Amino acid sequence: MTALTPNMLSRLIEGDLSDIEVLCSQPQSVIRTTASLLPTLVLRKHSLKKVLTSLKRKEISPETINTWAWFVRSGYVPSERPPITPIDIEYDPADEDLIVEIMSRLCELGDTIDGEITTEELENFLADLE
């Protein structure tokens, strides 16, 4: 198993999902310890733009983006594990309302109802993030 590093975790919060599988393979205790080595984790709109652009280009699956969004929003990777203590990931206060709206939508990806983002919706989100 590849170890999760602080740099990997920072890149994930910044919208680089290349290490999402490493994150998902870690126990929450490792994720918490790794997060404790970093300054405050903050999701910014440029990170969301990066993720949505990857979705638009079909570089990352909706399922992977859903996992990432769930992690960033909740502070833990969804699993069948017992209850855990999440890590804190803040949203940039300057863009918090927009970030909350988009993250909420990304957490719905794959649901039976509203589980897909239309091209128009994706384009609107990207325009809002400019």
Taking only the tens place, the pLDDT of each residue in 7-23 is 999 999 999 999 999 99
Q: Which amino acid is at 102?
A: I
Rounded Cα distance between 52 and 49, Å, is: 5
Report the run of H or E that residue 91 belongs to, with start and end. strand 89-91
Domain of 23? 6-128
Is there a domain that residue 15 lies in? yes
Is there a domain that residue 56 lies in? yes
Is there a domain that residue 1 lies in? no
Tell me the pLDDT of the chain averaged across its residues.
89
Domain count, the chain: 1
* pTM summary value: 0.88
Q: In sequence order, what DSSP letters do the residues of 38-71 get, joined into one string?
A: SS-EEE-HHHHHHHHHHHHTTSS-HHHHHHHHHH
pLDDT at 91 > cutoff 80: yes
Q: Tens of pLDDT along 43-60?
A: 999 999 999 999 999 999
pLDDT tier at 77 (50, 70, 90 boundaries)? confident
